[in-house]
Amino acid sequence: MLKNYIKIAWRNLMKDKVFTGLNVVGLSVAFGVAILLSMAAFFDLSYNNFHENGDSIYQVYNTQQTSKGPEAGTSQAAPFAEALRTEVPGVERITRYLEDEALTSYGEKDINFDAVWVDAAFFEMFTFPSLEGIKNNPLADKSSVVVTKETAKKLFGNTDAIGQTITILIDGKEEPFTVASMVGNHNTQNSLEFEMAIPFENHAGYAESKETWNAQYHEVYLQLEDGVAAQQFEQNTRSFVDLHYQESIENLKRDGAAVDADGRYFQIGLLPLKDIRFTSFRKGYAEVTRAAPYLILGVAFLILLIAGVNFINMSIAKSSQRLKEIGMRKTLGAQKKHLFFQFWSESLFVFTASLGIGILLSSLLIDEFRTIFRTSISLEMLTSPLALFGIFIATFLITLLVGGYPALLLSRLGTIQSLKGKLESSGSNRVRNALMVLQFGIAILLISGTLVMWSQVDYMRNKDLGFDKEQVLSFPVDGKKNSYQAVQLLREELAGNPDILAVTASDSNLGRGKDGSQSTSVWGFDYKGRGIRTNALTVDYDYFEALGLELILGRSFDRSNTGDTQSVIINESMAKELGESDPLTAFLPMGDSLRSPIIGVVKDYNFQDISRAIEPLTFFLDRESGLSYAFVKVAPVNMARSFDAIENAWKKIEPNSAFLGSFLDENIDNTFGREKKMATMITSGSIVAIALSCIGLFAMSLLIVAQRTKEIGVRKVLGASVTSITVLLTKDFLKLVIVAFLIATPIAWWFLRQWLENYANKIDLGVWFFVAAGLLAIVIALLTVGSRTIKAALQNPVKSIRTE
């Protein structure tokens, strides 16, 4: 029996190669694209899953209630970790964690590595397997370091790394360290990336801050003991908070802060390791959302849904050709289950072949997909037993649902009805119309999302940020020389170049440069009986001139005025925070007896991500603090030549330092790479979904024209024009598009409004986005079905009337 099903199914499929080919092409593309999108989504969802103790590891964060609302963050004080471990029961292991660069020297090599400064428990908590050297507690000796395999290769080549002595530049001094262990290549789904791990106590400034609770500059991770729940541990920290943050809590009360739902002003929370990648503290609390990967999975599902709808429509369109076959089979004794399995086996053939081709397509396109969407997916993900099982189950269910419906519909036909070759159209028409509305609705939803997302990306790219970004080059100042000395040497090297307009520096970049770093420093102090918090930025001379920042009050830092090293400049938001009628008369407290005068006020500009509102900012000309990034403003002509000149000048100053120069407009673009990636994926998915919808629409036009062939002939005999018949055949499609538009638009508006709420600077969600999506859907529908309806209208009426 099974052999007979397979043989007949193969013959029927080969009898109508166009029908079979359209189905296979549509399903193959859908499977291929859906596999790639799903791999990218599951790749993101699997971040940090490789740590053996991952279920019991948490990142510690704080939430405090301020007069302006809640604020949350992960920065902790140096003594926090040890105090928490000893005073609050339930901690198995704990480690401080600070990301910073480490200029490392070995022989003639000077390389700047991305380092983490951690405690000894780090490698006991996290799973970074040791390949060579000390496997247990490799950082027990404070003069030891751990390197990755790639770092060892860069430093030592093929020489054994274990036991080698290197020097690391710390606070201006080269300190010796011994390589104690080499760990394997990092898993790409890892939030704690590093090239070198160094004992935390060696970090610059640790000696001064190890007993200080008001200097918060690193993160803390802890592993709870077995049986200890995170929620219970959080409650147990309340007495710890009351003891160590008593002064902060009193200040919050003084400033008019309101308590949270638990009646607290300050709380410690635990964030699961697997949630870190998907957490934002922007709204003042830990908000965990996996919207991006789930959105990608949603697009993959919609693509498969449209391909399934196409298969159903095309199967129904072809069903009228097989009615007599069904009647003969029933006459000869075939039961419903026999007919069902016969038609379902044909669907199984098509889906199996399409899945195989789809997997092949995804394998061929994976490299291009990785490049376009900046993801690290690999074919190994596709060949894992879990992935293969998931693909098999998903395909079986899709085949059962999508292929089963037409099979069930045909198997339930009556014998007489089938032998007459007539198919009751009322039920199938309702299904057809519902599927058309679904297809158009999905198309309008995806088109709306594409238009809004790209409009938001374009808005962020072109918004006036308040500083010059097109002609300013930035790069890290990461050599052995004193940063101020290195910047001054750069000025002197470029002084005779007419294309170089200004050279300056600061301790923070604008946007995200080639080193990928992005940081900020927050300073809090009491001012006239209330707490003030401001972002702090150390700058060099000419900073405001090089970046084109507008001074609205006062003046810039002046080399001829030695007192400026003790002065500060603030932005408009900081001036509002101080509440002074004349900010230039105010002094900021810098210590017990030192006060810094405000000599200027800068117009607000976006010094952080554009998605965030502009916050208070204070500029310092502090010669004791280091500079991290140089900024060079160039003339708008010969910019490539200027770039080369700057690179050559820097290589003279720091010959062993890598030059990672990039223009600020590139840096700004990099800050919303996630938005561009998402918009690109939605756009690509939309194009595929719309293309598949066109196949389905074409199939439905075949069905409608076939059902109304005689009607068309009669109308033409009675004098109907080609235009009137074409309008008659297409107006039903337009009605369905309008219904789809009315259903899809509110859904799209709600989702997109929620997405835009994440941005302080955003576009207006106008009605024209949805009108454009609806009009585009109408054009797509008309172009798809127009060719077939016009052909039917032009057909010989005699031939149409004689059609059975």
Are 240 and 80 in contact, with CB atoms under 8 Å apart? no
The DSSP result for 654-691, as a single string, is: -TTS----EEHHHHHHHHTHHHHHHHHHHHHHHHHHHH
Are 364 and 28 in contact, with CB atoms under 8 Å apart? no
What pLDDT, in 10s, does the model give residues 686-714? Answer: 888 888 877 777 766 666 666 666 666 67
Report the pLDDT averaged over residues 288-313. 84
Most confident of 17-21, 392-396, 743-747, 759-763: 743-747
Are 597 and 555 in contact, with CB atoms under 8 Å apart? no
The DSSP result for 87-120, as a single string, is: HSTTEEEEEEEEEEEEEEEETTEEEEEEEEEE-T
Q: What is the rounded distance in angstroms from the CA atom of residue 605 to the CA atom of residue 590?
A: 25
Are 47 and 191 in contact, with CB atoms under 8 Å apart? yes
Q: What is the rounded distance in angstroms from the CA atom of residue 604 to the CA atom of residue 142?
A: 45
Q: Which residue has the higher pLDDT, 612 or 260?
A: 260
Backbone angles phi, psi at 116, to 5 degrees: -120, 140
- Could you tell me which residues are beta bridge partners of residue 570? 601, 618
Q: What is the rounded distance in angstroms from the CA atom of residue 337 to the CA atom of residue 330?
A: 11
Domain range list for the chain:
56-279, 479-657
What pLDDT, in 10s, does the model give residues 775-804? Answer: 888 888 777 776 666 666 666 555 555 554
Which distant-in-sequence residues (6+ apart) come within 8 Å of 585 by Cβ? none
Reading the block at residue 236, the tokens are 């147990």
Does residue 236 register a pLDDT over 80?
Answer: yes
Give pTM, 2 decimals.
0.84
Q: What is the rounded distance in angstroms from the CA atom of residue 271 to the CA atom of residue 233?
A: 12
As a whole number, the mean pLDDT across the chain is 83
- Using DSSP, state whether 611 is helix, strand or coil: coil
Q: What is the rounded distance in angstroms from the CA atom of residue 696 to the CA atom of residue 703?
A: 11
Report the pLDDT averaged over residues 120-135. 90
Reading the block at residue 716, the tokens are 């033409």
Q: Which residue has the higher pLDDT, 490 or 430?
A: 490
Query: Which residue from 338, 320, 321 is spatially nearest to 329, judged by alpha carbons?
Result: 338
What pLDDT, in 10s, does the model give residues 363-417? Answer: 898 888 888 887 888 877 777 777 777 777 877 777 777 666 665 665 555 554 4
What pLDDT, in 10s, does the model give residues 667-690? Answer: 888 888 778 888 888 888 888 888
Q: What is the rounded distance in angstroms from the CA atom of residue 295 to the CA atom of residue 290?
A: 9
Looking at residue 407, what is its pLDDT?
58
Looking at residue 502, what is its pLDDT?
94
* The residue to which tokens 């054009």 are assigned: 779
- Which of 199-213, 264-278, 728-742, 757-771 is the least confident region? 728-742
Looking at residue 678, what is its pLDDT?
80
Are 709 and 803 in contact, with CB atoms under 8 Å apart? yes
- Could you tell me which residues are beta bridge partners of residue 61? 269
